[in-house]
A and B are shown apart, each in its own frame.
Chain A
Amino acid sequence: MNKWENNRAWLLTVPVLILVAFSSIIPLMTVINYSVQDIMGEGQSLFVGTEMFKAVLREPRLHEALWRQFLFSALVLLIEMPLGVLLALAMPKKGWGVSFSLVVIALPLLIPWNTIGSIWIIFVRPDIGLFGHFINNVLGIPFDHTARPLDAWITLMFMEVWHWTPLVALLAYAGLRAIPEVYYQAAKIDGSSPWKTFWYIQLPKMRGVLTIALLLRFMDSFLIYAEPFVLTGGGPGNATTFLSIYLVKLALGQFDLGTAGAFSLIYFLIVEVLCFVFYQVLQNVGKGAKT
């Protein structure tokens, strides 16, 4: 390695560094300061050491929110990944259908997150909503996302799958289109079945994009806030209170800055570890693919 490499170009990143300092590093330091104090009002605070962390770590509602969060992310991935790949496989490969299906599939991605909640609230309302009215009055199944936890989860999953499967599908489609035609020709000569073509050619070739899709979807669903907030507000009861919703309730609803600070630090640490894994996996995608 050349030790005398000119590193002065790094100075060009100073403006970004200053911006990041003001937008995230200083606020984060403030949160750390908050987390060791009980803040009563402006200028009034009491140093309490690790009491806030103790309170948060032993709070059953936080544990519940955490498991709920992991369950939600796991369900999202289990449904969206296979569904996205299936969609990508079913999409036309040439002709006008390509642009048409791409646009149609991308539509949910273009809608703002808070609007999505409103759309689904109206959609599932038993009195005026298309879906709610149909399932309640035509099929005769009682369905109310504001009263029954399971219904709230079903609605939320439907909304999430409808909103984000297109992303997986688009990424998978891009991966599929990047496979050279010769692979399919070779498979054809060997008399490979469609399933074997999928398993031995398409799936391994899509590994890179699918890893990115998986990690993006995991991080997004782990940090979900706007959609359940608009749709259920964390209810019924606490059934859809995910980590971020619980955090906002704590910080803004009860103005419990110390506890919220400790909580957000723990949340941040979990996300930090996940990001590290995310980065490592992305760095190593394809490195092992020597087959």
Chain B
Amino acid sequence: MHLTLEWMYWTRPTAIFFIVLFVILAAMTIWQTLAPSVPRRGFLPLATTPGTRLFLGIISAIFIHLAWIGLTDLSLWIVFPFAVGWIIVVMIWG
């Protein structure tokens, strides 16, 4: 049995994506351990914890990117800051 990860066809962008994702998850776990979260209401129509807000933020950011890819031919880097900004907005006021 060979334990290489060749079959997963890693690329640098996806590797960076996953590293960032896991770092965020780890940071969220540490944050939750140090200061347990309490659900609260923001502008979203339901009471959310930071974890839920992160989930909703990332999911909607992905849909923003998908809409950009589907509807325009412009570079993804144009919409990327807006998507990240949206995640931050959801995290703080959502």
Q: A residues within 8 Å of B by Cβ? A: 1, 3, 26, 29-30, 32-34, 36-37, 39, 43, 45, 47, 49-50, 53-54, 57-58, 266, 269, 272-273, 276, 280
Which A residues touch B36, using CB under 8 A?
Answer: 1, 3
Considering only CB atoms, which chain B residue lies closest to A53 in the complex?
B69
Interface residues of B, CB < 8 Å — how many? Answer: 22
Check if B62 is an interface residue, CB within 8 A of chain A: yes
12 contacts between A and B (CB under 8 A): A1-B36, A3-B36, A26-B8, A29-B8, A29-B18, A36-B11, A37-B9, A37-B11, A266-B66, A269-B62, A276-B55, A276-B56
Contact A33 B14 (CB under 8 A): yes
Contact B6 A33 (CB under 8 A): no
Excluding A43-B6, A54-B69, A57-B66, 17 further A-B contacts by CB distance (< 8 Å) are A1-B36, A26-B8, A29-B14, A30-B9, A32-B14, A32-B17, A32-B18, A36-B14, A39-B9, A45-B9, A47-B11, A50-B76, A53-B66, A54-B70, A269-B66, A276-B55, A276-B56
Q: B residues within 8 Å of A by Cβ? A: 6-11, 13-14, 17-18, 36, 38, 46, 55-56, 59, 62-63, 66, 69-70, 76
Q: Which 6 A-B pairs have the closest CB atoms?
A: A57-B70, A33-B9, A30-B8, A33-B14, A53-B69, A50-B69
Q: How distant is the Cα of A26 from the Cα of B59 in the complex, in angstroms?
A: 19
Q: How distant is the Cα of A272 from the Cα of B62 in the complex, in angstroms?
A: 12
Contact B69 A34 (CB under 8 A): no
Which one of A26, A33, A50, A269 has the highest number of Cβ atoms from chain B below 10 Å of its Cβ?
Answer: A33
- Least Cβ–Cβ distance between B21 and chain A, in angstroms: 10
Q: How distant is the Cα of A32 from the Cα of B7 in the complex, in angstroms?
A: 13
Q: How distant is the Cα of A269 from the Cα of B58 in the complex, in angstroms?
A: 11
Q: How distant is the Cα of A269 from the Cα of B55 in the complex, in angstroms?
A: 12
Contact A272 B11 (CB under 8 A): no
Which A residues touch B63, using CB under 8 A?
Answer: 269
Contact B8 A33 (CB under 8 A): yes
Considering only CB atoms, which chain B residue lies closest to A45 in the complex?
B9
Which B residues touch A32, using CB under 8 A?
Answer: 14, 17-18
- Least Cβ–Cβ distance between B74 and chain A, in angstroms: 11
Contact A33 B10 (CB under 8 A): yes
Q: How distant is the Cα of A49 from the Cα of B38 in the complex, in angstroms?
A: 39
Q: How distant is the Cα of A269 from the Cα of B63 in the complex, in angstroms?
A: 9
Q: How distant is the Cα of A29 from the Cα of B21 in the complex, in angstroms?
A: 12
Which A residues touch B17, using CB under 8 A?
Answer: 32
Q: How distant is the Cα of A3 from the Cα of B55 in the complex, in angstroms?
A: 24
Which one of B9, B18, B62 has the highest number of Cβ atoms from chain A below 10 Å of its Cβ?
Answer: B9
